[in-house]
Amino acid sequence: MHLAAILHTLFALVFAPFLLSMINRTKAIVAGRTGQPLLQPYSDLWKLLQKGAVYSRTTTWVFRAGPVVGLAAVLTALLVMPFGGARAPVAFSGDLLFFAYVLGLLRVMTVFAALDTGSSFEGMGASREVTFSALAEPALLLGLAVLARQTDSLSLSTMFAGITSDLWRGSGPALALISLAFFIVFLTENARMPIDDPTTHLELTMIHEVMILDHGGPDLAYILYGNALKLWILGSLLVGIIMPVRSGHVWLDNSVACVAIVGVAILTGLIESAMARLRLLHVPQLLVGAGVLSALALVLVLR
């Protein structure tokens, strides 16, 4: 195991909630507000961890397992995700599929826990979440297939080490197409605008928020922390493609990647300030469009 890899993982564990505050701060500045303090997500997590959990009598062990398994899944995904040119702590051939479906496990456990409450609202949210992620999955997998083909590897670590500025010069259009598709997947998976509104608390329009309504205390803290880590993981997937800086110097590569991931967070904040949420009927259209972009990139590299 590499020292740089472990360093990055610890760094992600500490700074992932900070991305959320960057998004919030961007939105506040655009709207002309002061905004919450930058450490607010940490205070929220601390507050929730101090509380006790309340469980409804209609729920079973599935409801209690949901947040724990979800957090474990997202931590596992973090272990295979390389960052800033360094190898990930765990790397094996085929770990890109492992990565995609560990995130799938997180989603399916959230959905099961939501269905376990027996609430009709949560069922509605679960149905939407599953529909949208089923449409976002082809975009992610086809995009990963493009990267695997271009770098001749089936492991995320060697794949991202292979994305260099030379590759951008050779097949720039394909990489640009999948970056765009991955950005749409990033927004969808993290329940961001224009797919889902993270600040809404109106049951009819919520997607992700509605599924975690019945969780409280430490369970909610696990879910929120897991979401922050997921934002970090998918953000570093995006940054690994659009910022092909591979100087070989650990600190330089890492700081460039950190600046880039904060840039992605600020871009997300800007999009959230500028766009309204899409109507539910139009979301599949956007996601199929992302899938088509990935498919076009695959066609370009297979030709």
Partner 1 sequence: MSTWIDLVLILLVLSDFALLGSSRLGACIRFVAVQGVLLGALTLAAHEETTSLRPVILAVLSVGLKGAAFPWLLLRALREANIRREIEPFVGYTLSLLIGAVALGSSLWLSSRLPLPTPPVSSLLVPVAFFTSIVGLFLIISRKKALTQVLGYLVLENGIYAFGVGTVQQTPMLVELGVLLDVFVAVFVMGITVFHINRQFDHIDTDRMAVLKD
Q: What does the binding site for partner 1 look like in residue numbers (CB under 8 A)?
A: 173, 177, 284-285, 288-289, 291-292, 295-296, 299-300, 303
Residues in CB range of 30: below 8 A, 6 or more apart? 269, 270, 273, 274
Closer to partner 1 by Cβ: residue 74 or 181: 181
Closer to partner 1 by Cβ: residue 43 or 285: 285
Neighbours of 94 (CB within 10 A): 11
In the complex, the smallest distance separating the C-beta of residue 142 from partner 1, rounded to whole angstroms, is 10
Neighbours of 257 (CB within 10 A): 22
Asked if 215 contacts 67 with a C-beta cutoff of 8 angstroms, the reply is yes
Sign of the dihedral through C-alpha 273, 275, 279, 284: negative
Residues in CB range of 101: below 8 A, 6 or more apart? none
Closer to partner 1 by Cβ: residue 105 or 296: 296
In the complex, the smallest distance separating the C-beta of residue 300 from partner 1, rounded to whole angstroms, is 7
In the complex, the smallest distance separating the C-beta of residue 264 from partner 1, rounded to whole angstroms, is 22
Closer to partner 1 by Cβ: residue 150 or 227: 150
Closer to partner 1 by Cβ: residue 33 or 166: 166
In the complex, the smallest distance separating the C-beta of residue 202 from partner 1, rounded to whole angstroms, is 25
In the complex, the smallest distance separating the C-beta of residue 165 from partner 1, rounded to whole angstroms, is 15
Asked if 220 contacts 229 with a C-beta cutoff of 8 angstroms, the reply is no
Distance spanning both ends of the chain, measured CA to CA = 38
Which ranges of 81-217 would DSSP assign to H, the alpha helix?
Answer: 95-116, 120-151, 156-162, 165-189, 208-211
Closer to partner 1 by Cβ: residue 144 or 181: 181
Closer to partner 1 by Cβ: residue 37 or 170: 170
How far is the CA of 187 from the CAs of 14, 26, 159, 245, in angstroms?
22, 16, 23, 24
In the complex, the smallest distance separating the C-beta of residue 222 from partner 1, rounded to whole angstroms, is 35
In the complex, the smallest distance separating the C-beta of residue 252 from partner 1, rounded to whole angstroms, is 30
C-alpha 62/C-alpha 1 separation (Å) is 35
Asked if 17 contacts 43 with a C-beta cutoff of 8 angstroms, the reply is no
